[in-house]
Amino acid sequence: MTQSLTIARPDDWHLHLRDGAMLAAVLPETARDFARAIIMPNLVPPVTTGAMATAYRDRILAALSEGMTFEPLMTLYLTEDTDPADVAAAHASGLVKAVKLYPAGATTNSASGVSNFDKVRAVLETMAEIGLPLCVHGEVTDAAIDIFDREAVFIDRVLDPVRRATPGLRVVMEHITTKNGVDYVKAHDKDLGATITTHHFIINRNHILVGGIKPHYYCLPVAKREEHRLALRAAATSGDHRFFLGTDSAPHTDPNKESACGCAGCFTATNTMPLLAHVFEGEGALANLEAFSSRNGPAFYGLPVNDATLTLTKGDAPTQFPAKIDTDDGPVTVFDPGFPVYWSAR
Residues labelled catalytic: 248
DSSP E strand boundaries for the chain = 3-8, 11-15, 36-39, 71-77, 96-101, 134-136, 171-173, 192-196, 243-245, 309-314, 324-325, 332-333, 343-345
Question: Quick one: 251 or 274, whose CB is closer to ligand DOR?
Answer: 251
- Per CB under 5 A, the segment of 188-196, 244-252, 293-301, 327-335 that binds Zn ion is 244-252
Residue 235 in contact with residue 279, Cβ under 8 Å?
no
Angle at 40 between CA 35 and CA 46, to 5 degrees: 145
* Interatomic CA distance for residues 195 and 134, integer angstroms: 12
Question: Quick one: 248 or 281, whose CB is closer to Zn ion?
Answer: 248
Count of residues interacting with Zn ion (CB under 5 A): 1
Burial of residue 230, with CB atoms counted within 10 A of its CB: 0-12 exposed, 13-18 middle, 19 or more buried: middle
Touching ligand DOR, residues 259-278 (CB under 6 A) = 264-265
Under rule CB under 6 A, residue 42 binds ligand DOR = yes
Q: Is the dihedral of CA 254, 259, 264, 266 positive or negative?
A: positive
Count of residues interacting with ligand DOR (CB under 6 A): 11
Query: Minimum CB separation from ligand DOR for residue 222, in Å?
Result: 8
Query: Minimum CB separation from ligand DOR for residue 328, in Å?
Result: 18
**Binder among 59, 83, 89, 108 for ligand DOR (CB under 6 A):** 108
Query: Minimum CB separation from Zn ion for residue 46, in Å?
Result: 13
Touching ligand DOR, residues 305-334 (CB under 6 A) = none
Residue 203 in contact with residue 248, Cβ under 8 Å?
no
Touching ligand DOR, residues 126-145 (CB under 6 A) = 137
Under rule CB under 6 A, residue 220 binds ligand DOR = yes
Touching Zn ion, residues 247-276 (CB under 5 A) = 248
* Interatomic CA distance for residues 32 and 16, integer angstroms: 16
Under rule CB under 6 A, residue 107 binds ligand DOR = yes
The entry of Zn ion, ligand DOR, none that residue 290 binds, CB within 5 to 8 Å by partner kind: none
**Per-residue H/E/C for 7-60:** EECCEEEEECCCCHHHHHHHHHHHHCCCCEEEECCCCCCCCCCHHHHHHHHHHH
Task: Please enumerate in sequence order all residues whose Cβ is within 8 A of that of 213, keeping only pairs 6 or more positions apart, or say none.
Answer: none
Under rule CB under 6 A, residue 250 binds ligand DOR = yes
Query: Minimum CB separation from ligand DOR for residue 151, in Å?
Result: 12
The entry of Zn ion, ligand DOR, none that residue 170 binds, CB within 5 to 8 Å by partner kind: none
Q: What are the φ/ψ torsions at residue 336 (nearest 5 degrees)?
A: -105, 115
Question: How many Å is the maximal CA-CA distance in the chain?
Answer: 59
Question: What binding mask, one character per residue, do residues 50-89 give for ligand DOR by CB under 6 A, x or -?
Answer: ----------------------------------------
Question: Quick one: 298 or 337, whose CB is closer to ligand DOR?
Answer: 337
* Interatomic CA distance for residues 69 and 84, integer angstroms: 32
**Binding region for ligand DOR (CB under 6 A):** 16, 42, 107-108, 137, 219-220, 248, 250, 264-265
**Binding region for Zn ion (CB under 5 A):** 248
